[in-house]
Amino acid sequence: MPDLSYIEAINQALHQEMERDENVFVLGEDVGEFGGAFKATAGLYEKFGRRRVLDTPMCEWAFIGLANGAAMMGLKPVVEIQFADFISTGFDPIVQYAATTHYRWGAKLPLVIRAPWGGGACAGPFHSQCKEAWFAHCPGLKIVIPSTPHDAKGLLISAIRDPNPVIFFEPKYLYRRQKMEVPLETYASPLGKAAIRREGSALSIITYGAMVPEALEAAETLSAENISCEVVDLRTLVPLDKKTVLDSVRKTSRALIVHEAVRTAGFGAEVAAIISEEAFDALDAPPARLTAPDTPVPYSPPLEKAFRPDADKIAVRARELIRY
């Protein structure tokens, strides 16, 4: 198996699904000859041509609406939003139309919206936001946030094959920071299934996206202090794998929920509520959250470092929970 980076795994998934199914096509800003802002679509234009790799104007409302119509007619559009922050200008066709179509009259709408997501690149408030909670609040959408190259490929393939609209957030901080063995053959990883990245007995760290490697690093640090942390990678926020989360918390009796989105009404609040409602008797401490503060994402490198959770901050919060 070759070693691939996260972005290479995304690219391979797109190549393989476009080869497998002629109804799959990609569209977005600079996805054609330029290969995408992060090169996720590199080589697709040369291989599949302009009919299946469409450069669009800077108008997310229009090209997401176009993708909705194409999906309604049996095609399988994969939209690239250049930065996840820009998805707000296409909000209406996602939440008013794509999310409600099947409910309203039973139609399939196989649409994938890929969006480079999150901070870590010192790109400021317009290119660093985590807005997954917007869409988790909207029934009819699936939300996927892989943390590894292996999952990036397998979950994207599953998203493309799914008959429902999927928002596929890609932590751009991870695009080129890790490599791992990824099977060359096509494979689909199941949506709605969390992964236990590390077994533990004293504390469950529940997280997703770019915070997964930070949680694993924190868990390694804490193991030297005889604090055994279990790391749960949600992978899919909607549908959420409640069973894996609750089983982990019932085993460890403590839960620390970590995400790099801001705190108020973040997805971590939903996870904390589920744990409180369904595993309260198992808890030895209140569910805790570690998040970004309720401010726009800073541009300054030292301010962004202070803004985002990391392994050191996770370890500090975990020690507090253990002492509770």
The neighbouring-strand residues paired with 320 are: none
Indicate the pairing of strand 53-55 with strand 76-80.
unpaired
Alpha carbon distance 172, 119 (integer Å): 8
CB 318 within 8 A of CB 205: yes
Structure tokens at 264: 């108020």
Alpha carbon distance 181, 321 (integer Å): 35
Alpha carbon distance 280, 298 (integer Å): 37
Q: Which residues are catalytic?
A: 127
In Å, what is the CA distance from 48 to each residue of 16, 113, 162, 280? Answer: 12, 20, 22, 53
CB 32 within 8 A of CB 55: yes
